[in-house]
Amino acid sequence: MRRFCSLVLSGLGAVLPAASSASANDYCEDLWFTRNAIMDRAGYCFGSNLGKAVFDNSDCIGKTVEISPTDQRVVAHIQNAERDADCRIDTSNRQLSLRDLDRRKNLWDLPVRSEDALACMGWRGEQLPLRAGHSNSAPVTGKVNHGDIVEMNFVGDQGWEYLQVLTRDWDVVTAGWAKVEFSPDVCDGIIP
């Protein structure tokens, strides 16, 4: 039985399985976004086309910003994962292909992409509220309902998992954090 359990960021050694260049690019874009969203929230001023297109420079304070020790560890983890996956994001582009980019910008807590991925085909569990952060006081961003396709591609944090609810065409319907202990019993089927 496979259990989806929370991982501590400092204990991770992310390695990208090279399934395809498209999935490798998605993984790298995801890591790039989260790393730079942390910097954006600290007031970093982006100079690249991609940075200026994805983030709002109107409230930036400079190229040197301070981030918390926790964010420093997350950024270091992401940079290691990017190196391990040989990520090369073309920052002359003006867009990312992330399926839930707009939703992620409004999160209290940013998810970090994991090397592990699985999709729960047909959620059997109870209705599950999704939240903007790792707290029951965080705003509800959506919910997982009976029969939904639920994708889990992110590192758990403090017992919370970032879940994406998908259509049959794999478009993101909603996403957010949930306090959940995953087991195969809550799915009609699992795609690793």
Whether 9 is in a domain gets the answer no
Say what the pTM is: 0.83
Count how many domains the chain has. 2
Do 112 and 185 belong together in one domain?
yes
DSSP 8-state symbol, 93: S
Q: Mean pLDDT score of the chain, rounded to an integer?
A: 86
**Number of other CB atoms surrounding residue 135 within 10 Å:** 14
Whether 103 is in a domain gets the answer no
pLDDT (mean) for 76-95: 95
Residue 117: give the domain boundaries. 108-191
- Between CA 33 and CA 39 the distance in angstroms is 10
Whether 121 is in a domain gets the answer yes
Whether 158 is in a domain gets the answer yes
Over pLDDT 70: what percentage of the chain? 88
Domain end position, chosen among 98, 129, 147: 98
pLDDT at 184: 80
Do 163 and 115 belong together in one domain?
yes
Do 113 and 181 belong together in one domain?
yes
Whether 2 is in a domain gets the answer no
- Between CA 75 and CA 41 the distance in angstroms is 13
pLDDT at 45 over 50: yes
The CATH number of residue 181's host domain is 2.30.30.40
Label residue 23 by pLDDT band (50, 70, 90): low
Do 115 and 177 belong together in one domain?
yes
